[in-house]
Chains A and B, each alone.
Chain A
Amino acid sequence: MSIGDLAFLKQLDRLRVRVRTARGLRPGETPIPRTSQAWGIEFESYKDYTPGDDFRYLDWHALGRLDQLVIKVFTAEREILYHLFLDTSASMRVPTVDQKFPFATKLVAALSYIVLANNDTLRIIALTAPEKGQRPFLATPAFRHHARFFRIPAFLATLTPVGKTYLRESIQAYINQTKEPGVAIVISDFLVEPPQYEEPLLLLRARGYEVKAVQVLGAAELVPTRLFRRGKLYDVEEHGERWITLTQAHLQQYQTALRDHLSALQQFCHRHQILYACVSTEQPPVQVITETLTRAGLLMFR
Chain B
Amino acid sequence: MGILNPSALPLLALLGILILIYLRERWRKRIEVSTLLLWRAVREDSLRVRRFLPDLLFFAQALLLLLLIGGLLHPYRPLLVTTLQGNRHILVFDVSASMQAREGRTRRFELALDQAKHVVQTLGPLDEVMLISVSTKPQLVSGFTTDHRHLLHLLETLTPLDTGTNLGLGIELALAQRDREGRRAQIHVFTDLPQSTLNLPVAYLKDLVYHRVGRSDDNIAIAALHLYQNPFQHHSQAQAYVLVRNYAYRTKSAHLSILLNDKQIFRRDFTLPAREVTSFSVKGFEGSGKLVARLSPEDALDVDNQAWAWVTERRQRRLVLVSPVKALHEELDRVSRAIPGLLLTAVAPDAFTPAALDAQDIVLFHQFVPGVVVPANSLYVFPPPDNPLFPVLAEAVDLTILDWREAHEILHNLQYIEAIPLKKTRILALPSWAQVLISSRTRYGEVPLALTGEKDGHRVVCLAFDLGKGTLTNSDNLTLLLLFLNTLRWLLPPDPAVPVLVSAGGTFFLPAGTVPDSIQAITPRGQTRTVDAGTLDIDQVGEYHIQGSRYNTVLYANLFDEAESDIGRREEGSSLPVSVGTTSPPQELQHTVPQEFGRLLYYGAAMLLLVEWLYALWRYRRAGAL
Chain A residues with a Cβ under 8 A of chain B: 91-99, 102-103, 189, 191-193, 218, 221, 227-238, 240-245, 250, 253-254, 256-258, 261, 281
Contact = CB atoms under 8 A, between A and B. Distances in A.
Interface stretch (B28-36, B199-207, B326-334): B28-36
B41 A254 contact: yes
A102 B626 CA distance: 8
Contacts of B42: 242, 244, 250, 253-254, 257
A261 B33 CA distance: 16
B433 interface: no
A258 B29 contact: no
By secondary structure, the A interface counts as: mixed
B623 A242 contact: no
B626 A191 contact: no
A191 B31 contact: no
Contact of A244 (B27, B34, B44): B44
The bracket for how many chain B residues form the interface is 20 to 34
A236 B31 contact: no
A95 B33 contact: yes
Contacts of B30: 231-234, 241
By secondary structure, the B interface counts as: mixed
B49 interface: yes
B386 interface: no
B37 interface: yes
A237 B35 contact: yes
Interface in B1-43: 26-27, 29-43
A228 B31 contact: yes
Given A99-B623, A242-B44, A253-B42, A230 B49 contact: yes
Nearest to A259: B38
B32 A94 contact: yes
Contacts of A233: 30-31, 33, 36, 39
B591 interface: no
B35 A235 contact: yes
B525 interface: no
25 contacts: A94-B32, A95-B32, A99-B623, A103-B626, A191-B35, A191-B38, A192-B37, A193-B37, A227-B31, A227-B33, A228-B31, A230-B53, A231-B26, A231-B29, A231-B31, A233-B39, A234-B33, A235-B33, A237-B34, A241-B30, A242-B42, A243-B50, A244-B49, A257-B37, A261-B37
B55 interface: yes
B49 A96 contact: no
Nearest to B50: A243
B621 interface: no
A244 B20 CA distance: 21
Interface string B430-461: 00000000000000000000000000000000
B46 A243 contact: yes
B45 interface: yes
Contact of B36 (A93, A229, A242): A242
Contact of B44 (A95, A189, A238, A243): A243
B48 interface: yes
A218 B35 CA distance: 12
Interface in B92-149: none
A91 B34 contact: yes
Contacts of A257: 37-42
Nearest to A102: B626
B619 to A, nearest CB: 9
A242 B39 contact: yes
Contacts of B48: 230, 245
Contacts of B32: 93-96, 234, 236
Contacts of A221: 33-34
